[in-house]
Structure formats: C-alpha cells, structure tokens
Chain A
Amino acid sequence: MSSISQPMTMSGLRHDLRLIAGLIPQNSRILDVGCGDGALLAYLAKEKAGDARGIELSQNGVNACVSKGLSVIQGDADMDLSDYPEHAFDYVVLSRTLQATRQPEVVVSNLVRIGKHAVVSFVNFGHWKKRIGLLFRGRMPVNSPAFSWHSSPDIHPCTILDFVTLCKNLNLEIEVAISVDGQGKKQTIASNGRSANLLGEQAIFLLKRN
C-alpha cells in the first residue's frame, strides 16, 4: 500500500471526491458508478481529459448530468455492471455507494472486471464514534443523520477491516488504501489497518485483480 500525492487544482469538489480524483491519471477511460449530479464526472472529464461516463440510479440525477454534457445512463451497480465487457475502462469508481448495494461482493468483482483498476470509497462503520454510539447509546449506527436504521438505503455498511477481508477473499490487490479522519486529514492505511479502522471516518481503496 502506498500513498498518493494530491493535485492542487481541485477546489469545489467534495473532499473524498478530490482524493478519488487524485488516484486517477490523465487521459483515462473512467466509469463513475453512482455518479449523482456528476460533480466528480464533470471534474474528471474537464481536468483529466478522459473519457468519463456515469451510471446513476435517480433519473433526475441522470438528466442533470446529461444536460451538463456528461455521458450518463440510468442504472444501478447491482443490475447494470454485468452488461459491460472486461476492462472496458481504466478506472471504475464507486464512491459511497457500496453500502447501498444488494450484493457488494458481486459488485466489487464486477468493478475490477470491467475496470483495470477500481476505486471504492465508503464510510467506515468501525470509526470510534460509531462504536461508541452502539456501545453506550445502544443504537445502530447510520451513515447519515438523515436516516434511521429502518429508512436508510444503506443495507450493507462495513468497516475498513471488513472491506480488506472482502478484498482478500476476492484475491484483489490493494494498490492504495487511504483513510480520512474527522478533520479531513488523510492517512495511508497501514497493513493491519487496525488504527485506521478506529480513527478513519472514510476510506478510499484503489484495487485491481491479482
């Protein structure tokens, strides 16, 4: 696992998206799965001169993207990734979406199949605040205060250690692993991942098939 340098010209982009963008070289073919309103996609298309495309679940999000000139289709990670051929893209990005998929294992397998590299970011449920919430308050942690356990779309939240185990099971190489703490400070996740699992609020992984 190695660290990466952060490009300087990424203001206006959400912090985790900035880190993701920093992992992707110029002129790449990119698929952003769950691209939302296309913020990352627009940045990648403009700054990285790449062939950047998106999949988005909400039709409103899709229409917003296309009206900005981005190439986006309506679809979801569980259903639509299987349509694509192997290594159709250089990088496939799944940002803060894995926890909402029905079959995360299948989704991750598809990411590294259709992309030469996959970038996966998620909220770490092993973070100490989430642990304390459950330990002392006795309430299920959720991804966002907007949801309670029963209304959250996040049916498969995981911790950094959970995700590392999944990668091992799928025989994936973790090329880069970064955690971001509450202050937005990024750190390379050490090989055992235990401290990052406690202190990292978010995690970003760059993966490929072994």
Chain B
Amino acid sequence: MASESSSISKFKSGELPGHVIELGLDEPLKLISGKQLSPFTVAFQTYGELNPQKSNAVLVCHALTGDQYVANPHPLTGKPGWWDRLVGPGKVVDTNKLFVICANILGGCLGSTGPVSINPKTGTPWGLDFPVITISDMVNAQIRLLDHLGISRLFLVIGGSMGGMQVLDLASRYKDRVFAAVPIATAPRHSAQNIAFNEVGRQAIMADPDWCQGSYLKENKRPVRGLAVARMEAHITYLSEPALHRKFGRRLQGRDALTFGFDADFQVESYLRHQGSTFVDRFDPNSYLYITRAMDYFDLSAEHEGVLANAFKNNQIKFCVMSFSSDWLYPTSESRTIVQALNAVAANVSFIEIETDKGHDAFLLDEPEMHRTLAGFINGCASQIGLY
C-alpha cells in the first residue's frame, strides 16, 4: 500500500510533478491560533501562462480531500485531475487564456506543510505537535504564494465546498486582490450538522489503535481502518438519497442471495468500502483531523461582530454563488445566506442553483448547466476587464 510517507519521499526526491516553494523564512506565517510557521512549504501546480500584465491569474481552491492536481493526473492514483472537466485548454476555466494556480492547502499531505511534514525543531514528523490551522491560515499561505509569484490581483478565485470557504475568506479579507469570486456548494460557517459529521470522522481515526495518539509515523504504523471509516461516512454526505438509490438501490454485490453474514452483501456497502480503501492510499489521517477542524472553526460572521454582511463591506468583487438542489451538506439555504449578506452591502452578486440529484459532489461532476452558467459568468468578467 502506498503511504503518505512514500509521497513525502517522492516529493523530496522531486518525483511528484509540480512546483514546491519554501516560504516564510524571513517573515513567518502567523497563524490565527497565535503560533507561527517558519519556514513553510507550498506545493502547487500551474496551468497556462501568466500574461505580461499579470492580469489573467486564477486561483483554484481545493476541498477537504482535494489537492493541487486540479487538471492533470493524480501522481499517486493515476486518476484524472479532480476538476479536469472544468479546467483546461478550451474549457470553462480556459488555460489557453488564463493562468491557473492550484496549491495544496496548508495542513494538506501532498507537499505543503502539514502534520506529515518534518518539524524543523525535532527532525521528526509534526504529528499532533502541528499547530491547529484555520481556513484563514490556508488563505494566508496562498496569498504568500501569490506574493512570491508577483501576482498582486487575481482575475478569479474559485472553489467548491471547503474551497468555497477559502474563496469567501479571501474575498472578505483581500478584497483588493481579486476581481471575481466563485464560491460553490459552500457555507459561510460550519453548521452543527457539519461539525457533527466531521467529529464522527475524527473519532473513527482516533479510535483506530494504529493512530498511536497521532504519532503513528514514528511507530511505523497507519490508522488506515479509521481513516477508511471516516471517508465512508463522509462520502455518504457528499451524495444524496436519490443518487444512492439510482446508483445502487438494494442490489446485491456479486451474489444472488443474502449471505446472512456481515460481508458486503449490498452494492452500496461494497462501493463505500472501495471508497474507503482507495482513499487511505492517498491521504494522511492526521491531515484529515486538522483540515476537518479548520472547516469546523470556519464562521465568517463571527469575525465580523456576528453580521455576515460586514465581511463584505466596501467590496467591489463580482461574485457568482452557486449551489446544488440536492446538496444537503451545504444546502442552497447556506448559499442564500451568503447572497443576502452580499445584497445587504449592494455587492455585485449572481446566484445560481443547479437542479440535480447528485448531491454535494455535483460540483465535481458533469453538470452541463453549471458549466454553461460558469462559462457565461467568467467570459462576462473577462470581457468586462478586456482580458479576452
């Protein structure tokens, strides 16, 4: 089984594709918790070319289990980039015209500094000594990357789910550094239900004896069963009841009758087990804890006297908020809350709900209406500033 330690060694030996930059040597990354990281590493991919005016840059923010491989095959799984449908030459986010940047988030496990990285003070992996990070910390790390690349203003920042939280945070705190923002299938704060689901996932990981109180790397172990269960549970929340029914119904897996045992009799069980077992090959359990925590801590209005609209005051950004009708993890009502807050400051906002039964994951899937409306929004923005 490939492990995250092998992915780290691949990074060190330059085997994983993409760029890796060490930042924060002179100026530490100050975290919301009060702690600091110096230095910190950002692993990122770019697609297309930055124009001489540096006005065509797009930042794509990835979700909880995403990574920087937005439009090229994943180096560990070989699967197509996670937003391959949307990002590429001639596609909605057209890399023939735009310069696309996607960075592995702070706390991630594919090259950027996270709990699997080596703590410079000890020479061993951080594990639970890694400071707790927030969505704002992730965004700050990406802003530092943009500074490094000399990009003072993005044309577009776009992301779904936790990527959408980064979009909202960036649009709120760096309002002069982006022209257009597209938060998709996301929320201005994590609801009690969101936190509850994340907590089940974390408990599954921490209940695995191989987790070793977070120091499994030192013990040469991996809590893969716990991580797999966390993924299985989370995966259900990414789908919808109609989608599950359509895909699997009560069909049996490779058998004609019930076995009266606890093997995966049903196709849906087999599917979830597969989702769990393949996920552990590409993701670090401690990263999962840290990133879900960052999502739980996200509450944009809490940072603005409890008034979400205050997060967007004096904002000139063009927003396109998008939700999916069957998404019950970040339902349309959450997107409406964002839209109402933007309206309250008369911000420039479009809001689209896409009719689909595919649930939260719809933002990653083939949704022609989403692609059509996004293309219209992005092209409209591009022509407004004379980009193309």
Residues of chain A having any CB pair with chain B under 8 Å: 51, 53, 59, 62-63, 65-75, 80, 83-85, 88-89
Contacts and interface: CB of A to CB of B under 8 A. Distances in A.
Given A66-B377, A68-B376, A73-B351, A84 B346 contact: yes
Q: Tell me which of B318, B350, B372, B384 has the highest count of chain A C-beta atoms within 10 A of its own C-beta.
A: B350
B343 A80 contact: yes
Contact of A67 (B348, B351, B376): B376
B369 to A, nearest CB: 6
A83 B377 contact: no
A62 B345 CA distance: 21
Contacts of B381: 69
Given A73-B339, A74-B352, A67 B344 contact: no
A36 to B, nearest CB: 15
Contacts of B352: 59, 62-63, 66, 74
B348 A53 contact: yes
A180 to B, nearest CB: 32
B320, B352, B369, B384: which has the most chain A beta carbons within 10 Å? Answer: B352
A67 B376 CA distance: 4
B136 to A, nearest CB: 26
B353 A83 contact: no
Contacts of B318: 71
A-B CB proximity, top 10 nearest? A69-B380, A67-B376, A88-B346, A73-B351, A83-B343, A67-B373, A66-B373, A66-B350, A71-B350, A83-B340
Interface in B357-388: 369, 372-373, 375-377, 379-381, 383-384
B380 A62 contact: no
A99 B109 CA distance: 58
Interface residues on B, range: 20 to 34
Given A59-B355, A74-B351, A74-B352, A66 B345 contact: no
10 contacts: A59-B352, A63-B352, A63-B373, A66-B352, A66-B373, A73-B339, A73-B351, A74-B351, A83-B340, A85-B346
Nearest to A88: B346
A69 B343 contact: no
B20 interface: no
B376 A74 contact: no
Taking each of A71, A80, A84, which has the highest tally of chain B beta carbons within 10 Å of its own beta carbon?
Answer: A71
B225 to A, nearest CB: 43
Interface in B183-200: none
B349 A71 contact: yes
Contacts of A53: 348-349
**Most A C-beta atoms less than 10 A away, residue of B345, B372, B380, B383:** B380
B301 to A, nearest CB: 15
A69 B377 contact: yes
Contacts of A51: 348
A190 to B, nearest CB: 37
A88 B342 CA distance: 12
Contact of A71 (B340, B348, B372): B348
Nearest to B321: A73
B346 A74 contact: no
A79 B77 CA distance: 48
Contacts of A83: 340, 343-344
B343 A84 contact: yes
B386 to A, nearest CB: 14
Of B343, B349, B355, which is in contact with the most chain A CB atoms at under 10 Å from its CB?
B343
B346 A66 contact: no
A85 B348 CA distance: 13
A140 B31 CA distance: 68
A69 B351 contact: no
B353 A74 contact: yes
A66 B353 contact: no
Given A66-B320, A66-B376, A71-B318, A89 B346 contact: yes
A82 to B, nearest CB: 9
A63 B318 CA distance: 16
A72 B350 contact: yes
A62 B346 CA distance: 18
Contacts of A84: 343-344, 346
Contacts of A63: 352, 354, 369, 372-373
A29 to B, nearest CB: 8
Given A62-B351, A66-B320, 19 more contacts: A59-B353, A63-B354, A66-B377, A68-B380, A69-B377, A69-B383, A69-B384, A70-B350, A72-B351, A73-B351, A75-B351, A80-B340, A80-B343, A83-B344, A84-B343, A84-B346, A85-B344, A85-B346, A88-B346
A83 B320 CA distance: 18
Contacts of B384: 69
